[in-house]
Amino acid sequence: MQSPQRRWADAALIAPLAVLLLGPLAVAANRLWAVGGVDPATAALDLSPAGWRSAWSSIQLAFLASIGVVLLGTPVAFALAKQPARRRRWMTTAVALPFVTPSIVAAVAFLALMDVSGPIGSTLRTASATTLLGPGSIALLVAMVWFNLSLVTRMLTPALARTDPAYLEQLRLLPQGNSAWLRFRAWWWPVLGPALGAAAGLTFTFAFTSFAVVRWLAPEATTIELLLAEQGSGAGIPGYRTGLSRLVLGTAVVQGLALLVAAVVVNAMQRHHGARMLQTTTLHNGDAPASRQSTALAMSAVVFALTPLLAVLAASVRVRTPSGHRFGLDGWRRALSGDAGGTGLVDAFATSVGTAVWTVAIAMPVGWWCASAVLSAERADHRRRAQAIDLLAMAPLVVSSAMVGLGSLLGLLRFAPNLIASPVLLPMAHATLVLPVVVRVLLPAMRALPDDLEEQAATLGLGPWHRWSLVRLPMLRPAAVVAAGLALAFSLGEFGASWILVRSTGSTTLAVLVDAWLARPGFDATTRPAAMAVASVLGLLAAGVMLGVERWRDDRIGGGL
Amino acid sequence: MKAPAMLMVLLLAGTTLSGCLGEDLLPVEDCSTFVADTRSDDGVLRVLTYDIASLTPEFLEAFRNETGIEVELVRTGDAGAVLEQVLLYDGAPQVDLVLGLDGSYLPIAVARCLISEHGVSLAGVQTSILDASGDIGAHGVPFDHGWVCLNADSGAIDTMPTSLWNLTEPAYEGRVALPSPLSSSPGRAFFLATLEGLGDEAWTWWEAMLANDAIVTSGWSEAYEIHYSGGYGVWGEGHIGDAAVTVSYCHSPGVEAYYGGNATTSVPLALPGGVYHQIEYGAVLTGAANASAAEAFLAHLVSPEANAEMPYQNLMYSVLEGADLPEEEGYRHHSLVPTEAASTLGGMDVVALDLALDALALLLEA
């Protein structure tokens, strides 16, 4: 049982966390309400045609991307699972690389791919010109599938690799398993369904809230996130474009609801999936020889994952000329000197790394505390309290980057305008956004710790500090390293909130610098290569962080992230 | 699902606590009673701007050496976003100086008392620019300018249009790309030009253009890079090239030539009712921490050495007397200086502009 003091301590921490996470959003909503003269519910129901169009495009894109990820990801996961353990490990890592690739780099990567890769590029370009949601939407969908593919492989491959083939052999002999369809129903669907559902739900969430790829690959598509980010700057101003304040408020509510539904689905699916994983673990070590087709498929997935990133590097040294193109370091030189962009590559690098380190410094203790609080409430059988803290920490998943950025901006303007220019603003926003990931990684690891371990340590005479530093910390180190690594990579690549907030802070991160170079009129042929050069640095940085973290990762850490 | 419902309640509860921030938010009319919340002086001149290319490291270095003043740039998306940031500060500015608002944006901030009058000497600035600035000249220091007009691809059109109405004819069906006046600053400038130049007929023209399948894009880049067949966009990925005419600057073909080895098929068109004289201003905010440092910066910006760089760094004309575009690589040769153009709000006031933009939004939606 928990002591009353402990309960007060929890409450004293929950309250500020709630204010910090939800306060800015509430104040922003209140301001939009006051300016637009319409409450959030009415604003959402009474959305203008432009608002509905953006909601509809968001849903379409996210839905198609989810289907694409499941259709492409499932065979790839099977193929990866059939590979021998060592090869499987590096291949899975390679396929997962896009997922930690900053979104703006993903956008640039597909622009580069269309530009430099000859046949693939021209196919993609032709396909993109024929429309679904406007020019570029095919490239956009491919990019979304590319980005989220590892959600499926990360969740399915471990389960598949551990499935003992003898099981299936036995199933074939049974009446419930004598046709492929029956085997699918009796075995594959129960085992894979929840994982696929969770992966599809997460893809829906990420695709729904993607900003950089939509902004640059499908310049004429308007999604909710794009509308919030690009037009949000004009919202919340009394007597100025009040219709816009209503539109922003209404679409934000619609987005929140859509993401809420996705979050509920993901949550339910992950719980099932977690249970299945326990049942299927350690049955089999999966070292049977891989078939040639499956190896070919797995290899193509690796190539698919890596090609766009290589295209960025290539495009950074490729300069267009009136008669074609030439190779040169002009783009790199321009990016380094920052002549036209103002901010040089080195300054932006320092800002990005500094912001990322601060993000980890804020998100790790808060996330650690959240996870411990959830766990101790669970163990004390306070299910409600456990759920409340868990949900609070998950709240940022239901709001997008643009909403956090706008919320911080409009919320702070009301109470602490001086903070707007403060360098802590960006790490705070990033920490908020990455908190769910940190908690999701730490919590299962904490749950897996035997609960009598600390009691035994206490019996042996260890004080609370030693119990923490000698028992808990070492056992949780792998999860902590993975969580910190993900937080670091996330902050480095975060684009939406940064894009909204750096306009107030005066410092530019690498992700925002890539965008600034892309947005510049391209009369000068070295402008695009300069964007590619900055994107190369950012992509390599994020990949480096991920590869550094990878050796700490175990299949059960990360909940698919 | 009980738990997510709780979250939703939490979110909504935050918003229902009080729906009554409203009263103190409305703008004041009489600026003599306006009290700004002055920014505390931290010894750094903070400048809000969009990505203006002329503020090079060398430029900032020269300014610091000359005056000893440290400068920090706060960059935001485009001119519209710069204005909106100023409006959001609402008299409690986090910057001292704003750069890059043109005559169609600056009056809105001025009307809300957010800009102070300046004391910078404009002795070297062309009188035509001061004339075109009108009343705004007291609040804004012009630092570059150019004319927004239609550009046409001579490779795709046999006989050039001589009137805006030509573009409503079947020959131009689906072949004109217009950046939306609601989200693009050149688009907005062009819209103001039509309102002033075509008068009441302007709305008929816009309706006819939409009926003629004009391509309306969110920004200048989409129109120019993706749809226009006469610009550098043809080299880029995702280029469609279905538009033979688009909105850009009368000197954009000059810039094309300058970077393209003195060759371009793009031609500027100064059609009646289709030209806007865009002048970009720097202005000191009401409540600036250090107004004199801000004015020193503006004076430096219009000094002969710094301002002469405009055509190269910022792809705009210098505002100084006797200045012109460089002759190199056909920059000057392929550019056009129109004789007549709309400027500032195209003869409207701030309220009328707001109504016109609302009306256009309805038209575009229908």
Going from the C-alpha of A386 to that of each of A19, A370, A371, A378, B13, the distances in angstroms are: 18, 9, 9, 6, 21
Residues B89 and B151 in one domain: no
Subunit contact A114:B222, Cβ cutoff 8 A: no
Question: A339 to chain B: which residues are within 8 Å by CB?
Answer: 56-57
Residue A43 near residue A253 (C-beta atoms within 8 A): yes
Q: Which of A97-111, A527-541, B16-30, B37-51 has the lowest mean pLDDT?
A: B16-30
| A281: DSSP letter | T
Q: Residue A159 contacts by C-beta under 8 Å, 6 or more apart in sequence?
A: A191, A192, A195, A276, A277, A280
In a domain, B18, yes or no: no
CATH code for the domain of B235? 3.40.190.10
**Structure tokens, B111:** 């009307």
- Count CB atoms within 10 A of the CB of residue A469: 12
Angle between helices A242-280 and A4-36 (to 10 degrees): 140
| Residue A283 pLDDT class (50, 70, 90 cuts) | very low
Residues B211 and B303 in one domain: no
Q: Which of A314-328, B207-221, B255-269 has the lowest mean pLDDT?
A: A314-328
Answer whether residue B14 shows pLDDT above 70.
no
pLDDT, tens only, A459-484: 888 887 888 778 777 888 888 998 99
**Structure tokens, B352:** 């009328």
Subunit contact A29:B90, Cβ cutoff 8 A: no
Answer whether residue A558 shows pLDDT above 70.
no
Residues B338 and B260 in one domain: yes
| B320: DSSP letter | B
Q: Which of A396-400, A486-490, B38-42, B275-279 has the lowest mean pLDDT?
A: A396-400
Q: Closest residue of B to A265, CA-based?
A: B1
| CATH 1.10.3720.10 location in chain A | 1-36+330-561, 50-316
pLDDT, tens only, B124-143: 999 999 999 998 999 999 99
Residue A522 near residue A341 (C-beta atoms within 8 A): no
Collapsing DSSP to helix, strand or coil, A553 comes out as coil
Answer whether residue B16 shows pLDDT above 70.
no
Distance of CA A207 to the CA centre of its chain: 10
Residue B270 near residue B264 (C-beta atoms within 8 A): no
Residues B65 and B123 in one domain: yes
Q: Residue B235 contacts by C-beta under 8 Å, 6 or more apart in sequence?
A: A320, A525
Backbone φ and ψ for B19, nearest 5 degrees, come out as -100, 30
Answer whether residue B28 shows pLDDT above 70.
no
Dist CA A165 CA B76 (whole Å): 58
Distance of CA A344 to the CA centre of its chain: 27
What does the pLDDT read at residue B6? 39
Q: Most A CBs within 10 Å: which of B17, B73, B84, as the mutation test of the A interface?
A: B84
**Structure tokens, B319:** 């505002």
- Count CB atoms within 10 A of the CB of residue A323: 7
What does the pLDDT read at residue B21? 35
Residues B151 and B196 in one domain: yes
The separation between the first and the last C-alpha atoms of chain A, rounded to the nearest angstrom, is 33
Highest mean pLDDT among A168-182, A382-396, A440-454, A516-530: A516-530
Q: Most B CBs within 10 Å: which of A48, A130, A240, as the mutation test of the B interface?
A: A240
Q: What is the residue whose two structure tokens read 């909105």?
A: B247
> Regarding predicted confidence, which is higher, A229 or A135?
A229
Subunit contact B88:A339, Cβ cutoff 8 A: no
pLDDT, tens only, A78-120: 888 888 888 888 888 899 889 889 999 999 999 888 876 566 6
Dist CA B44 CA B69 (whole Å): 7
Of the candidates B88, B90, B260, the beta carbon closest to that of A322 is on B260
Subunit contact B240:A135, Cβ cutoff 8 A: yes
| Residue B297 pLDDT class (50, 70, 90 cuts) | very high
Question: B259 to chain A: which residues are within 8 Å by CB?
Answer: 523-525
Answer whether residue A26 shows pLDDT above 60.
yes
What does the pLDDT read at residue B4? 40
The string over B320-358, giving b where at least 16 C-beta atoms fall within 10 Å of a residue's C-beta and e elsewhere, is beebebeeebbbbebbbebeebbbbbbebeeeebbebee
Largest CA distance in chain B: 73
In a domain, B167, yes or no: yes
Dist CA A143 CA A162 (whole Å): 30
What is the SS3 string spanning A340-400? CCCCCHHHHHHHHHHHHHHHHHHHHHHHHHHHHHHHHHHHCCCHHHHHHHHHHHHHHHHCC
| Residue B338 pLDDT class (50, 70, 90 cuts) | very high
Of the candidates B21, B26, B88, the beta carbon closest to that of A239 is on B26
| Residue A6 pLDDT class (50, 70, 90 cuts) | low
| B120: DSSP letter | -
In a domain, B182, yes or no: yes
Residue B193 near residue B103 (C-beta atoms within 8 A): no
Dist CA A308 CA A149 (whole Å): 14
For domain A1-36+330-561, which architecture applies? Orthogonal Bundle (1.10)
CA distance B330 to chain A (A): 14
**Domain count across chain B:** 2
Q: Which option is the CATH number for A50-316: 3.40.50.2300, 3.40.309.10, 1.10.540.10, 1.10.3720.10?
A: 1.10.3720.10
Q: Residue B44 contacts by C-beta under 8 Å, 6 or more apart in sequence?
A: B70, B71, B72
Residues B196 and B135 in one domain: no
**Structure tokens, A57:** 């495009």
Residues B322 and B357 in one domain: no
Subunit contact B85:A519, Cβ cutoff 8 A: no
pLDDT, tens only, B34-92: 888 888 888 899 999 887 766 777 888 889 999 999 998 888 878 888 999 899 888 88
In a domain, B287, yes or no: yes
In a domain, B13, yes or no: no
Kindly give the pairing relationship between strand B176-179 and strand B215-217.
parallel
Q: What is the residue whose two structure tokens read 């908190």?
A: A435
Q: Where in chain B does DSSP place strands (E)?
A: 44-50, 70-76, 97-102, 141-153, 176-179, 215-217, 245-249, 266-269, 276-284, 317-318
Of the candidates A30, A241, A268, the beta carbon closest to that of B18 is on A30
Mean pLDDT within A423-450? 86
Collapsing DSSP to helix, strand or coil, B146 comes out as strand
What does the pLDDT read at residue B72? 87
Beta bridge partners of B282: B99, B141
Mean pLDDT within B190-201? 95
pTM: 0.87
Q: Residue B69 contacts by C-beta under 8 Å, 6 or more apart in sequence?
A: B45, B63, B290, B293, B296, B297
A-B contacts (CB, under 8 Å): 210
Residues B60 and B183 in one domain: no
Q: Which of A555, A435, A443 is nearest to A484 (CA)?
A: A435
In a domain, B262, yes or no: yes
| Residue B101 pLDDT class (50, 70, 90 cuts) | very high
Q: Give chain A's mean pLDDT.
A: 83
Dist CA A155 CA A161 (whole Å): 11
| Residue B10 pLDDT class (50, 70, 90 cuts) | very low
Subunit contact B87:A237, Cβ cutoff 8 A: yes
| A179: DSSP letter | S
| Residue B247 pLDDT class (50, 70, 90 cuts) | very high
In a domain, B17, yes or no: no
What does the pLDDT read at residue B20? 36
Q: Give chain B's mean pLDDT.
A: 87
In a domain, B12, yes or no: no
Dist CA B364 CA B366 (whole Å): 6
Subunit contact A342:B358, Cβ cutoff 8 A: no
Of the candidates A26, A343, A391, the beta carbon closest to that of B14 is on A26
Angle between helices A527-550 and A292-316 (to 10 degrees): 140
Mean pLDDT within A6-33? 78
Full residue range of the structural domain in which residue B61 is found:
38-145+279-329
CA distance A270 to chain B (A): 15
Dist CA A410 CA A418 (whole Å): 13
Residues B312 and B361 in one domain: no
Subunit contact A114:B238, Cβ cutoff 8 A: yes
Kindly give the pairing relationship between strand B317-318 and strand B141-153.
antiparallel
pLDDT, tens only, A49-65: 889 989 999 999 999 99
Residues B87 and B72 in one domain: yes
Q: What single letter denotes the amino acid at residue B166? A: N
| Residue B15 pLDDT class (50, 70, 90 cuts) | very low
